[in-house]
Structure 1
Amino acid sequence: MLDLLHRTYAPFVVTVLAMLFTPERPTVAVADAHAEIDDTLDQLRAAGYGDEDNQPLPAGNARDLCRQWVYAGWLVRQVSDNDIEVYRLSAHGVGALEVAGRVGGARTRVSESRVRTLLDAIERLAQDADPDVMARIARLEVEIRQRQQELARLEQGGTVDAVDDEQLLEAAENVLHLARELPADFARVAESIKVMQRDVVAELRQDVRPTGEVLREYLARGQQIMDTTPEGRAFAGALRLIGDPAQIDDLWSQLHTVLRHRFTDLLPELQRRELTEIARRIEQGVNEVLTAQRQASHVITTQVRNHDPLRDRQVDELLRDVMSGFHKWVPNSRRSATVDPLRRLPVADVGHLRQTMSDVRPPQPPAPLREWDEAEDVPDADTRAWGGPRYAELRAHLAAFADDAERVDVAAAFRAAPEELQRPVDLLGLLEIAHDSGMTDTAEVTVVEAVRPDQTRRRFAFGGVSVTNLATSPVPASADGSDDDE
């Protein structure tokens, strides 16, 4: 952080980073960042900046500058959840911007609000450190009496003591001073988790212990990663206070109450915006830390599952052999010497390999079917009940149901059919017979109930259909039931 603030081009770097990264945009796509920085450089150079005596600018384009800032530890380049490469500020970069913001903004003052915050913190510290039960009871009784007296005064028509705008302004500045420290703290917690992840993975890759032992140890560390660093333990304690959605909702409502007061008109526009964004910045910080925790646990778990110490050791030995061969070959070689490429990898010298992977035994025919014994009992279940439509029976039923009528309603005929002809397939067969015999659609929707062979029932809805009496119409060849395939 100090290296960033002490550089020759610190004003340019700090300004550009503050323009790129805002509370509403904590991460920026790599392509967008390069385009915006190049545009800023062009505008500054066109305005006359960049000379030795007029705010010198760094050399190179935006890609080179971002690469330098990543190497210096001010930016972090990573892949987002949408598989897009993005930049985000590191904890050092966030700290540098906070320092620059405090220096360039309103100077904090020793005010009543800041002193009260300090005294309240000391009082709470003393109460938490004092294990005396009687002393705690006495303090609670005094506080209860004070609250009851204040409540009685207000119920009797008392008024709320008004606080002048100057004191409210001092309190708001104190809140902003405290809130400016949060983004850097959250970033440090997230980066400490990432450092822990890299350390665990590095140790895992160098490990030669049994896989089961490594799995138990490192999965436990991955699950308890928030408890293994001082920053993680501190954040876990803070998360119990601010991680509750109800607490965040209360914070939003309290900030809106403050912003509706007239004293906020005395605040500069930048400070009013900072006051509005406090709750959002807290939410973003919590989400950043929790995301880093989930990613670390996922990476460690994946590495443990896919880790093979023996394979890694073989790869390391192979690389060492290659480097040793280079060390022997390079001193005796010339720059213009021809190097014969390795056309193919060496093959192990084995006597003979099998030329076929099939079974050496000759193929055998399948086992013959068992002969049917007529003495065996024939199953009682009528397997034909699960077959296709019974066209002959359906035509006979339709003709009998029609009697002397010229036209027959298909739905009424189906409802009047015996139960063995009320299967879903029989409904389809009846509609098929009606289609072949010249059916007429009606405007109403008809609902019928079909019965399956297992006595389960299904309801079907279709457009009303009437058909000509089959007694006076010819029988199509496709519907007489004579075709075995039908």
Structure 2
Amino acid sequence: MSNTRAEAAYRRSAAAFRNPMLGLLHGRYAPFVVASLSLVFTADRPTVAVSDAHAEVAGIIDELRTEGYDDGERRIPSGTAREICRYWVKVGWLVPQLEDDAEVYRLSAQAVGALEVAGRAGGGRSRVSQSRVRTLLDSVDRLSVDADDDPGARIARLRAERDALDAEIARLEGGGGVEPVNEQQLLEEAEHVIHLARELPADFSRVAESIKQMQRDVVGDLRRDVRPTGDVLHEYLQRGQHVMHATPEGRAFAGALHLIGEPEYIDRLSGRLFDLTSKPFARLLDAGQRADLRAIARRVELGVDEVLTAQRRASHVITTQVRTHDPIRDRQVDDLLRDVMAGLQTWMQTSRPGDRIDPLRSFPVADVGNLRQSLSDVRPPGAPEPLTGRDVDVDYLDDEDRSWGGPHYAELERHLATLGDTFDLGAAFEGGQSDSRRPVDLLGLLEIAHRNGMTEGDEVTVVEATRPDGTSRRFAFGSVTARTTREQPHD
């Protein structure tokens, strides 16, 4: 049994040391990494342009090597600053991102936590102080109150608190003075506040990274979702709109945001911190502690902005992915990428260093021999076979079939010959025989009028045509007057 417990404990410990935070602190160049990251990234400078970070890390390396910090146990990693920073990105200590169309670095939550651990270890051991114990007792009391659902007990506690506050107010109004607090106790409380504030950046970074990880998971799930876009649209848009509540860290931050999200609170917090640094006990704080105390409000503001920026970016990415979601296209892209990776792996087995592959500059053209090569010649390749036999015999059509045919030109010509030298198209159509007042016969009359020479008027003519099945349809057109016979050219 003991071996099983030891093995389980060892596995938990091994998993913990695979965390990038412990990897940073336990690494071969941990002092250099901690020193460099703490110099490049500060509370007022949470993100640094990639080129600036490379230049600053290069300057740190040059200074340390000049002082002899590249031999023995005082080790500086080899390689350029760019290679070192890229390695830090690979192991999860730096996070590259786009900010105002420029690539920047920011510390990951694990790196922030590692710097905080290193800072606490280098600043002396923690002390059991009245402030720490009171914070613990207050937290236990608050937990007990929030967990108690007995109305009577809550009313009793509230009344006791009210009585104590009334008694204190009465004492002060009666001339009682404010009992001064020992400066050593104030110093301990200030150190405890600084200790708590140092943990905030890592907490904010963990919330932002959990949101980004959720974003990547959602996009990955969406790409693997083979349902139609209409089925997944509502579901994923809902997840994008409520991205803050999709992770435990996000839900915890949403609750804390009610306390620190208002700009008035940040301003009030900044004012109180400034007042504290002007109190007499503040002289007991060193310069670094006073700077940390003044930077608390700024740290809170930057942390909230980091999380909200991650939320907006995740919502935008998820919404954009949903709107452009095409399962068939995504599968084709995935298949293409898998084919490329498979081909690359096959090529790597037989290639040698320095081998090159000629890029594909254009797609091959299919050689199809039975299609016309040019679109300029619209003539068919050969004349059609002549019609024979029944194909030219129209006697098999009955009267009903004929009634659905084209215009009755002969009947229309004979009808127009009775109307004089000119005719009105609408009147000629209305005066024709019943079997010549179909919609197609109206078009036939218009064709004859155009052929003989017609004149269009401004008035609108409305006629009613009757189909062979008895249904009717009304047509409206500009009035047309035409000759009954084609106009002969003059000599």
Question: Same fold by TM (over 0.5)?
Answer: yes
Task: After TM superposition, give the deviation of residue 326 of structure 1 in Å.
Answer: 7.6
**Aligned partners of 1:94 and 1:186: how far apart in 2?**
10
Task: After TM superposition, give the deviation of residue 347 of structure 1 in Å.
Answer: 2.5
CA distance 1:118–1:338, shift in 2 (3 Å): closer
Among residues 72, 79, 93, which one is paired with 1:60 in the alignment? 79
Q: 3-state DSSP class of the match of 1:307?
A: coil
Task: After TM superposition, give the deviation of residue 172 of structure 1 in Å.
Answer: 0.6
Q: Which residue of structure 2 aligns with residue 72 of structure 1?
A: 91
Q: Which residue of structure 2 aligns with residue 473 of structure 1?
A: none
**Aligned partners of 1:15 and 1:23: how far apart in 2?**
15
The 5 A counterparts of 1:226-305 are 226-305=244-323
Q: Kindly, what percent of the aligned residue pairs are identical?
A: 59
Q: 3-state DSSP class of the match of 1:60?
A: coil
Q: Which residue of structure 1 aligns with residue 63 of structure 2?
A: 43
Residues 155-207 of structure 1, C-alpha deviations (whole Å, 9 max, x = no match): 12211111111111111111111111111111000000011111111111222
Task: After TM superposition, give the deviation of residue 241 of structure 1 in Å.
Answer: 1.2
**Aligned partners of 2:81 and 2:29: how far apart in 1?**
14
CA contact 1:108–1:174 (8 Å) conserved in 2: no
**Aligned partners of 2:251 and 2:231: how far apart in 1?**
26
CA contact 1:75–1:90 (8 Å) conserved in 2: yes
Q: Which residue of structure 1 aligns with residue 44 of structure 2?
A: 24
Q: Which residue of structure 2 aligns with residue 165 of structure 1?
A: 183
The 5 A counterparts of 1:33-432 are 33-53=53-73, 55-80=74-99, 82-319=100-337, 344-347=363-366, 349=368, 351-352=371-372, 355=375, 371=457
CA distance 1:154–1:329, shift in 2 (3 Å): closer
**Aligned partners of 1:337 and 1:123: how far apart in 2?**
70
**Aligned partners of 2:91 and 2:66: how far apart in 1?**
28
Task: After TM superposition, give the deviation of residue 289 of structure 1 in Å.
Answer: 0.5
Task: After TM superposition, give the deviation of residue 328 of structure 1 in Å.
Answer: 8.5
CA distance 1:61–1:251, shift in 2 (3 Å): same
Q: Which residue of structure 2 aligns with residue 392 of structure 1?
A: none
Q: 3-state DSSP class of the match of 2:119?
A: helix
Residues 83-106 of structure 1, C-alpha deviations (whole Å, 9 max, x = no match): 111110000100000001111114
Q: 3-state DSSP class of the match of 1:97?
A: helix
Residues 122-143 of structure 1, C-alpha deviations (whole Å, 9 max, x = no match): 1111111111111111111111
Aligned length: 363
| Segment of structure 1 superposing worse, 312-321 or 290-299 | 312-321
CA contact 1:78–1:86 (8 Å) conserved in 2: yes
Q: Which has the larger Rg?
A: 2
Specify the code of the residue in structure 2 equivalent to 1:72: V
CA distance 1:60–1:160, shift in 2 (3 Å): same
CA contact 1:127–1:136 (8 Å) conserved in 2: yes
Q: 3-state DSSP class of the match of 2:48?
A: strand
Task: After TM superposition, give the deviation of residue 63 of structure 1 in Å.
Answer: 0.3
CA distance 1:370–1:318, shift in 2 (3 Å): same
Task: After TM superposition, give the deviation of residue 338 of structure 1 in Å.
Answer: 11
Q: 3-state DSSP class of the match of 1:345?
A: coil
Q: 3-state DSSP class of the match of 2:180?
A: coil
Residues 383-404 of structure 1, C-alpha deviations (whole Å, 9 max, x = no match): xxxxxxxxxxxxxxxxxxxxxx
CA distance 1:202–1:169, shift in 2 (3 Å): same
**Aligned partners of 1:76 and 1:340: how far apart in 2?**
32
CA contact 1:248–1:279 (8 Å) conserved in 2: yes
**Aligned partners of 1:216 and 1:91: how far apart in 2?**
32
CA distance 1:309–1:142, shift in 2 (3 Å): same
Specify the code of the residue in structure 2 equivalent to 1:67: R
CA distance 1:44–1:301, shift in 2 (3 Å): same
Task: After TM superposition, give the deviation of residue 346 of structure 1 in Å.
Answer: 2.7
Q: 3-state DSSP class of the match of 2:97?
A: strand
Task: After TM superposition, give the deviation of residue 330 of structure 1 in Å.
Answer: 9.1
CA contact 1:108–1:177 (8 Å) conserved in 2: no
**Aligned partners of 1:266 and 1:72: how far apart in 2?**
40
CA contact 1:79–1:86 (8 Å) conserved in 2: yes
Task: After TM superposition, give the deviation of residue 315 of structure 1 in Å.
Answer: 3.1
Specify the code of the residue in structure 2 equivalent to 1:3: G
Structure 1 residue 15 and structure 2 residue 43: aligned?
no
**Aligned partners of 1:17 and 1:337: how far apart in 2?**
39
CA distance 1:216–1:354, shift in 2 (3 Å): farther
Task: After TM superposition, give the deviation of residue 256 of structure 1 in Å.
Answer: 2.0
Residues 342-389 of structure 1, C-alpha deviations (whole Å, 9 max, x = no match): 865132736348948xxxxxxxx9xx997579xxxxxxxxxxxxxxxx
Residues 309-343 of structure 1, C-alpha deviations (whole Å, 9 max, x = no match): 11122233445556677888999999999999786
Specify the code of the residue in structure 1 equivalent to 2:332: Q
Structure 1: gaps of 5 or more residues: 357-364, 374-486
**Aligned partners of 1:337 and 1:270: how far apart in 2?**
56
Specify the code of the residue in structure 2 equivalent to 1:232: G
Q: 3-state DSSP class of the match of 1:78?
A: strand
Residues 401-429 of structure 1, C-alpha deviations (whole Å, 9 max, x = no match): xxxxxxxxxxxxxxxxxxxxxxxxxxxxx
**Aligned partners of 1:63 and 1:330: how far apart in 2?**
27
CA contact 1:193–1:293 (8 Å) conserved in 2: yes
Q: 3-state DSSP class of the match of 1:209?
A: coil
Task: After TM superposition, give the deviation of residue 40 of structure 1 in Å.
Answer: 1.2
Instruction: Give the structure-2-normalised TM-score.
Output: 0.68
The 5 A counterparts of 1:435-446 are none
Q: Which residue of structure 2 aligns with residue 441 of structure 1?
A: none
| Segment of structure 1 superposing worse, 225-234 or 250-259 | 250-259
| Segment of structure 1 superposing worse, 105-114 or 337-346 | 337-346
Task: After TM superposition, give the deviation of residue 236 of structure 1 in Å.
Answer: 0.9
Q: CA RMSD in A?
A: 3.1
**Aligned partners of 1:340 and 1:117: how far apart in 2?**
66
Structure 2: gaps of 5 or more residues: 1-20, 377-449, 460-491
